[in-house]
A and B are shown apart, each in its own frame.
Chain A
């Protein structure tokens, strides 16, 4: 009953004209950044972040969330028509989506990815409600040792699932945790690593770092981008045929389940499930040789999975206060700036936010379906905007966005530094995602670590004698050690070779 009562409250909130407007703006911008290569949802969310400071926390989160799942819809368009993924979760769609477009079937490819996204998104919201509520209730009983263990587990998972080398991901996690210690000590307020700078005394801001690592570095990488050629194809109908439907319904349903499950895992997000879904569909298919040559299953499965994954990722954020990927880290940062504490208490203290976000996803998914199916022509036109015109615009938005959070030009400098760091890291195939998640979780992890030690009067056994924390730590240790096993390395290498690891 709790769920239905909550959902009714959520819908009441969402149907406020203001909130509806913000939800709409979010999904439109999401689709836009999904379509435009060179700016991903993280960049867009951090750019728009300052604009959310003046509105209610519920409206802010609903808009930012809309950008996230909206980008998953938009990302498929460029994959199918230009063979360039609009964002990382649509990399796989290029394989068969572009081939379908070359065979003159761009319409059904775009259609099935929008419809699949809608089904995957909606099924995941239902699952989200039924998983997040009991999880939050269970987490209410957690003390500092359990939270510390939970964060250890999230970080191990993030490193374990990161594309590229696990060792590099662990390095990035440690660097992120260190960056999180800059500024005042979370317990005593003692200033650390601030080198006399008033800006650093408040800690390194999430927004300048996120914009630098994901916005600026993306622009720097894209300086080399050559002009894109949009496939000149007449799109007669976007509606898939009966045969297409028959072939797609299985992948869509499996993609929803795979997406939701991997979305739950820290480090899973929306990218990993697309790879898994593609592999599963290829294995199950009677004609695996068609994959890579325009099989509709190869579009329907992964496109469903990325939407289901982006929705599933809200579970750990809403229920536990742990962001499983950088996008949710920004959402968490937005909540914090508004003075809202995410975590198990969110559902009780701020039900309007918790249920508002969930209800807004139902509404947002319907808006996206409407936006994407008839308006596809408009999005295609946008693809023709040259990057050299877009680039200064993206950079200007980053500059203003970064400045506006605290009206502090020093943060622009931090953004530039992290832009350069992000560029080098991407070039050397280090994942920036673990760094940013560790940075935002760092202070919480430290506070829980120290409080646990104070509770136990200095004994580390407290982490092992409490059953929940012992189990969580055992799983993290298991992941950490198996990451070195050759079987795991081989699989990871094969996946990297098959699909590439670039964003």
Chain B
């Protein structure tokens, strides 16, 4: 089934319902919004979008954490994998949310401390908070000169 979403940020979008990703608990801060889908930017752009279905106003900028940290090894508890029925690397997908400050967009950061852990087969996901890790919840994504521009 094709679903149409009139995104405030991205305009009119059409998506096949089997591309939707469901977060049964929502994500912290947005518990009522359960269904999202990924929209890519131009080819090769490191950032993409996670558009909410239930709320056309809501879209996040997200990215693949491994582009920015190829050594990224989030200590995701085994019970979270069990809950999402992720049995191996094949069904696991990770995204992280990017925060782009209104006042200084070039100081954009990404939340490596709370990745969106997704079962790519069942398309169920959860934002998992890594309590006992050194990963930052606001790690700068742009190199220093650009990021420090006023």
Please say whether chains A and B are actual partners in one complex. Answer: no
